[in-house]
Each structure stands twice: as C-alpha cells, then as structure tokens.
Amino acid sequence: MRKLIVAGNWKMNKTLQEGIDLARAVNEKINGQKALVVLCTPFIHLSEVKKVITKSSLFLGAQNCSSKSAGAYTGETSASMIKSTGADYVIIGHSERRAYFKETDKTLNNKIRLALENELIPIYCCGEVLPEREAGKHFDVVQSQINEGLFSLSNKEFSKVVIAYEPVWAIGTGLNATPEQAQEMHAYIRDLIDDKYGKSVAGDTTIQYGGSCKPANAKELFAQPDVDGGLIGGASLSEEDFIAIVNSI
C-alpha cells in the first residue's frame, strides 16, 4: 500500500535546544493523521530529538549521509551512524547538495545503497532548475536523475525508496509548482517506475512534492492523485505551519 508521508527538512536551522522544542511541539500535535510524519534534522539533533518522539506515526530522518561506509573521512557521517541514533529516513540528493556540494547521480547512487544496507529509507530528491523547465527539458532531467540514481536497484531495494519531486525553482522561493504541474511530473515519474519495475511497485511508491509547500497550497497539491505527501523546507520550521500542512492530507 502506498504511504502518504510529510517530511520536514529543517536544513541548517535550529540550535539543539530549539530543535528539541520544535520536535516536542510537533510530537504533541501528532494525533491520528493520515500521513506518516518525518523530522529530518541536522545530524547533531538526531539522538536528542529521538528521545522526545513518542508517537508511532512520527519518525526521525537525516538530511544527508556519506557516500563512504566508514574510515578516514573527516567530517563525514555514515549511514550506519545515522541508523544508530534511531533514525529511519535519510534525504539523499537534495538540490542544495547537488548544487553547493557538487553531488552527482553516481555519488548519490552510492549513498542510496549505503542507506538501504543500513535499513534507512532514502528520500531521493529530483527536479529541474528554471532554465531546464523553460527549455522544456524538465522531463528529461528528472528521467536522467531517477535513472542514474535509482534504476540500478533491484525490485526489492527500489520498493523501499521514497521519491521527492522538487522543482528547484520552487524551493525556498515562495513560487510553488501548480497542482497540475506537480501531478503531470508525478504521473510521469510513476510511469517510469512502471516501465522499469512494474505496476505494483509503481503503484506503491510514495512520490512527495517539495517546493514552497505551505498551509495555503498544501491541500490542493496533496489532492492530486499522484502526489503522496510533501517534503517541506521553510514551513517545517514552524510547528503551526508544519502541522497545518500535515493536517491538510
């Protein structure tokens, strides 16, 4: 069965104490909603945030993991370290990592494999930049990201992955994709999965939308048949906005 998942990506925000307070406030308001909820915190928050999560539909996630499994890689954090904090999810291939840290689809494929080996659910981000959309290349870009990043996985491995479609021009800009634009791309992604892994896997894959999702537009976006929740940046930093988004599923 396809899961509906709303994940908050805190990015590089919140001190440890602020993060614990936010997680505690979200935890208190989780109460029988339809969607699973994930808090993707900075690494240093993970184990402390885990302690305040008591609701069974609230999960912990990281925002990145190393493409190496262990060893002399100063400053890196491995998938097994993340798992050991009690996290269950990890965002892989966020556009900020692709742009600022030059992460390639090949590197991201390594990260996906390490996440899966360590029983973390990868939330794999894909999406085009504005000039690519304006040139009508958005489908090709997303196809290539999914192909290179994910399609070497076995059927069993792939069925554990969550995909987040995040048009880069919509991230943090206040300019969200229209529900029709989101649905069009999500349906396209599901068709790609169908061609590669078959109808049942495609039907069960969670495809989140991300990009300036907020309480005012979440309901319409989530009402689209192929939009299975969201990856929320800015609005996840406010407990009220984040819960309003979760409640709009």
What residues are annotated to the active site?
Answer: 94, 166
Q: How far is the CB of 213 from ligand PEP (least distance, A)?
A: 5
Question: Can residue 171 be called a binding residue for ligand PEP (CB under 6 A)?
Answer: yes
128, 166, 228, 241: residue in contact with ligand PEP (rule CB under 6 A): 166
Q: 29-61 burial, b for 16+ CB within 10 Å, e for fewer?
A: bbeebebbbbbbbbeebbeebbebbeeeebbbb
Shortest CB 234 distance to ligand PEP, Å: 3
Cβ-defined contacts of 188-194 (< 8 Å, 24+): 188/139, 188/142, 188/143, 189/126, 189/142, 189/146, 189/163, 189/165, 189/226, 190/226, 192/143, 192/146, 192/147, 193/158
Q: Answer yes or no whether residue 172 interacts with ligand PEP by CB under 6 A.
A: yes
Residues 223-241: b if buried by 16+ CB within 10 A, e if exposed: ebebbbbbbbbbbbbbbeb
Nearest position to ligand PEP, beta carbon: 233
Q: Shortest approach of ligand PEP to residue 135 CB, angstroms?
A: 22
What string marks each residue from 2 to 31 as x (binds ligand PEP by CB under 6 A) or -?
-------x----------------------
**Binding string to ligand PEP for residues 192 to 231, with x set by CB under 6 A, is what?**
------------------xxxx-----------------x
Residue ranges binding ligand PEP (CB under 6 A): 9, 166, 171-172, 210-213, 231-235
